[in-house]
Homo-oligomer: A and B are copies of this chain.
Amino acid sequence: MAIPQEPVPLAGFTADSARAERDWEAKFRAIPDTALMRAYMERLSARPHHVGSAYDRDNAEWLLAKLREWGLDAHIENFDVLFPTPKERLLEMVAPEHFVAKIEEPTVAVDPTSGQHDEQLPTYNAYSIDGDVTGPLVYVNYGVPEDYETLDRQGVSVKGAIVIARYGGSWRGIKPKVAAEHGAIGCLIYSDPRDDGYAPGQTFPAGPYRPKDGVQRGSVMDMPVYPGDPLTPGVGATPEAKRLPLDQAVTLTKIPVMPISYADAQPLLAALEGRVAPVQWRGGLPITYRIGPGPAKVHLKLKFNWDQKKLYDVIARIPGAVYPDEWIIRGNHHDAWVNGAEDPISGTIAELEEARAMATLLKQGWKPKRTIIFCIWDGEEPGLLGSTEWAEEHAEELGRKAAVYINSDSNGRGFLGVEGSHSLEHFINAVARDIQDPESNVTVWKRAQSQRIAGEGRRMTPQADREEARTRPDLRIGALGSGSDYTAFLDHVGVASLDLGFGGEDGGGIYHSIYDDFYWFTHFSDTTFVYGRALAQTAGTAVMRLAGADLLPFEFHGLADTVHRYVDEVKKLAREKREEVVERNRQIDDGVFTALEDPRLKTVPPPKETVPPFLNCAPLENGLAELERTAHDFDQAAAHAAANGGSALAHAELKDVNDRLVVVERAFLSSEGLPNRPWFQHQIYAPGFYTGYGVKTLPAVRESIEQKQWKLADEQIVRVGKVLEDAGAAIEGAADALKQATK
C-alpha cells in the first residue's frame, strides 16, 4: 500500500485548513536529516552523562545553545534532587569457598568510549539503601510474588537470606521490594545469558548482546508508590521545597541491592544446592540451576553518597497563534546511565530534529494554533526525576493548559510501537498511515498491521486477532504503565499521553551498561539513522497536527471500547480467582496433594483459603454505560461538524469546546489516588504495584482482586464506577459545546 495520493480528511480540520496542514507536514517531514542525527548522537554520547556529571550539564547547555541557535525560545530549568552514588561496593561468597565478585565492566579495545572509567558510574542500583549483610543465598527466579508461592510449595524461606534474582519478568525495583516483604536481608540481580547474553546472539563486540562482565545498572526506587525525587513527593524539588528527612523517604529500598554480571553470578549459582529449579526458572548458564538456601553464603556491603544533585531540564516553547493556553508537549530525556547512545540519545536526536524542523518552518511562515513545548529531560534514569519534578512544579498550569504529552525514549529499527491514552488511538493511527517505513515500500501503519496479522515466529496469530487487525479501522494501542517520562503527565496530572518508538529488529544486551555507546549503536542498531528520522517524522507530524487542528482530534468511541474490555477483564479475573480457590480447596479436601507427594522431595501443600465472595460489578458497568453513551454522543457531534468538508467547523467559535477537550483526561483522575499510593491518580491506567513498569488497567479494582482484598475491591468498584460517570459527564459537556458551536 503506497501513501494515498488523495488525502483522506483530517479529523479536526476543515477541508481548507487540512490542505494547509498537509502542506506544512510534508515540508516538515522532508527536513529531519540522518547525518545530523548521527552527529548529535556522537556529540551527546561522547562521554558519560549521568545526573550530576559534568557532561550531563554540558549536554544540557549544548542542547540549549542548539535550540536557541535555531531561533527557539529556550531555557534550562533546574531542580535539586537526591541522587545516591556508590562509595563502597563489595560482594563476596564466603562459603563453601571464597570468591570475590569483579563488579567491573572492562574496556573493549575496538570501542573507543568503553575505557572512560574515570567518568563512568560504577555498576549499582540507585536508591538501594546502605547495608552490610551476610547470609545464605537463595535463587528466586525473577523474584516476583508468584515465584515466592513456588518457593512456599517447596518449603523454602528467604527469611534472613540474600536472594539472587535474574533480570526480567518485572521491573527491577520489584525484586528487592518483594524480597524484603518475604524477609530477605539483601538482593542481587543478575543478567542471565539466556535473556540478553549469548543465547539470543553473539556478544559484544562480535555482536550486539551482553558480554559476560556486562552489568545492567538501574534504579530500584519504589516508583509504583511515587516517582521523582524521594524527598519531595508531589511538589517540585526547587531549592525552597520542603524536603523529607532521608529516613522518611519511603521509595528507597528496604534492603541493599546490587546488579551483577553473569560472570559474577555463575560461581554463586553453581554453589547452590537444594531443589533443582523448575524448568521455567532455568537460565542459559552451563550449570544446574538450584534453589538453595546455601550452602553458598554471601557477604554484600554497600555504602552510598546520599547527595543532592542538580537537574538540567531543557525547555523550548513555540507559542500558539490562536490557542496559546492549549499546550502540546513533546519530551524525551537526555541523561543516561553511562554514555547512553541508545538509551536515550537515539530518541533525543529525533526530538532535536523535530525542533530544528519546526524552527525552520516558523521562519517560512508556519503558525501553529496551539503552543508547542519541547522538553528534554534530565534525571529520567534514576527515577523520572526531571519530568516528574517539572510536572509537579507546574501541575496547576498543566492542569489547565496541557492537552497532550508525546514521549519517546530509546529508538531502534523495526516496527512502530505506540502506547497511550485511548482517546488518541484514532488520531495516532491516522498519523501512522502518513509515515513511510524506511525499510519497506509501505507505511509504518501497514507494516505494524502486517506484523499483527502474521504474528511472531511460526505460531499464527489467533483468527479473531487477525480479523480485528484487518477490519478494525484502527490498530489497538497498548495502555501506558511506566518506565519513561510520560508517567507524571498521565498518572499524576491527567494529561492525555502517547509514547512512540520503533523496535523489534534491533536486539541487544547493552542496556544500562558502558557498552551502550556510539560504537555499539552505529554497528548494531539503527546504523543509518533512518528509523531516527522516521521517529522524528511520526512524533513531529503528531505534534504539528495536534497544534494545528481547529478542533482537538480526540475520539472517544475507541476509548469506551477499550474500557469495556478492561471491565470484562476484571470481571473475569474476579470469577477466576474465585474458581481457583474453590478448586484448590476441593483438591486439598480430596487428598490430591497428599496422593501426589514424592517422599524424596520436600513439598508443602497450599493452605486452604476462604472462598472469595462474588463482587458487585454493577457500578463499573453503569459507569461504563455512561462512558459509551457520551462517547457516541460526542463522536456524532464531531461527525456532524466534519460533514461537508467541515463547513460547520470553519465558522464556529471552538475555544470553549477545545478547552473542554483539553481537560477530559483529567476527569479520569481521582484526587485520593489509588489505594496506598495517592500520587497515582489516574483510574484507568497505572504501573502495577507488583510489576513496576507493566501496566494495570482499572488498577484500583484489578489490584484489589489480585491481592485478594475483597472488601477493598467492592469499594473501589464503586469509586471507579463514579469516575467513569464523571468522565462521561466531561465528554458530554464537550459534545454539548460542540453541538452548540456548530449548530
Q: Which residues of B contact A597 (CB under 8 A)?
A: 439-440
A198-B287 in contact (CB<8A): yes
Q: Which residues of B contact A209 (CB under 8 A)?
A: 288
Q: Mark A1-37, 1 if CB is under 8 A from B, else 0.
A: 1000000000000000000000000000000000000
Q: Which residue of B lies closest to A276 (CB)?
A: B201
Q: Which has the most chain B C-beta neighbours within 10 Å: A150, A203, A440? A: A440
Q: How many residues of A contact B (CB 8 A)?
A: 58
A1: shortest Cβ distance to chain B, in Å? 7
Q: Mark A595-614, 1 if CB is under 8 A from B, else 0.
A: 11111100000000000000
Q: Which residues of B contact A203 (CB under 8 A)?
A: 288
Binds B, one of A444-452, A533-541, A721-729: A444-452
CA distance A288 to B507 in the complex (A): 14
Q: Which residues of B contact A505 (CB under 8 A)?
A: 598, 600
CA distance A278 to B200 in the complex (A): 8
Binds B, one of A333-341, A404-412, A453-461: A453-461
A458-B146 in contact (CB<8A): yes
In the complex, chain A residues 68-91 whose Cβ is within 8 Å of any chain B Cβ: none
Q: Which residue of B lies closest to A597 (CB)?
A: B440
Contact pick for A451, options B284, B439, B441, B596, CB 8 Å: B596
Q: Which residues of B contact A598 (CB under 8 A)?
A: 414, 439, 505
Interface: A286 (CB within 8 A)? yes
CA distance A442 to B199 in the complex (A): 44
Binds B, one of A303-311, A586-594, A641-649, A734-742: A586-594
Interface: A715 (CB within 8 A)? no
A193: shortest Cβ distance to chain B, in Å? 7
Known: A580-B460, A583-B466. A596 touches B447 (CB 8 A): yes
Contact pick for A596, options B149, B450, B591, CB 8 Å: B450
Q: Which residue of B lies closest to A266 (CB)?
A: B286
A591-B442 in contact (CB<8A): yes
In the complex, chain A residues 538-594 whose Cβ is within 8 Å of any chain B Cβ: 579-580, 583, 587, 590-594
B201-A288 in contact (CB<8A): yes
CA distance A466 to B587 in the complex (A): 10
B198-A446 in contact (CB<8A): no
Instruction: Tell me how many chains of this kind the complex includes.
Output: 2
A437: shortest Cβ distance to chain B, in Å? 8
In the complex, chain A residues 451-481 whose Cβ is within 8 Å of any chain B Cβ: 451, 453-454, 457-458, 460, 463, 466
Interface: A282 (CB within 8 A)? yes
Contact pick for A587, options B446, B454, B599, CB 8 Å: B454
Q: Which residues of B contact A199 (CB under 8 A)?
A: 282, 288-289
In the complex, chain A residues 257-302 whose Cβ is within 8 Å of any chain B Cβ: 276, 278-280, 282, 284-289
Known: A282-B199, A505-B600, A583-B460. A450 touches B595 (CB 8 A): yes
Interface: A202 (CB within 8 A)? yes
Q: Which residues of B contact A579 (CB under 8 A)?
A: 463
Interface: A207 (CB within 8 A)? yes
B591-A1 in contact (CB<8A): yes
Q: Which residues of B contact A282 (CB under 8 A)?
A: 194, 199, 284
A440-B580 in contact (CB<8A): no
Known: A466-B583, A583-B460. A595 touches B286 (CB 8 A): no
A603: shortest Cβ distance to chain B, in Å? 12
B592-A453 in contact (CB<8A): yes
Q: What 9 pairs across the A-B complex have the smallest Cβ distances?
A: A450-B595, A286-B286, A450-B592, A442-B595, A198-B288, A201-B276, A447-B595, A505-B598, A454-B592
**B-contacting residues of A (Cβ < 8 Å)?**
1, 146, 149-150, 193-194, 198-203, 207, 209, 276, 278-280, 282, 284-289, 414, 437, 439-442, 446-447, 450-451, 453-454, 457-458, 460, 463, 466, 505, 579-580, 583, 587, 590-600
Other A-B pairs beyond A199-B288, A463-B579, A505-B598, 20, CB < 8 Å: A1-B591, A146-B458, A193-B286, A194-B282, A200-B288, A203-B288, A278-B458, A284-B286, A286-B286, A437-B595, A439-B598, A442-B595, A447-B595, A450-B596, A453-B592, A454-B592, A460-B583, A463-B583, A466-B583, A505-B600
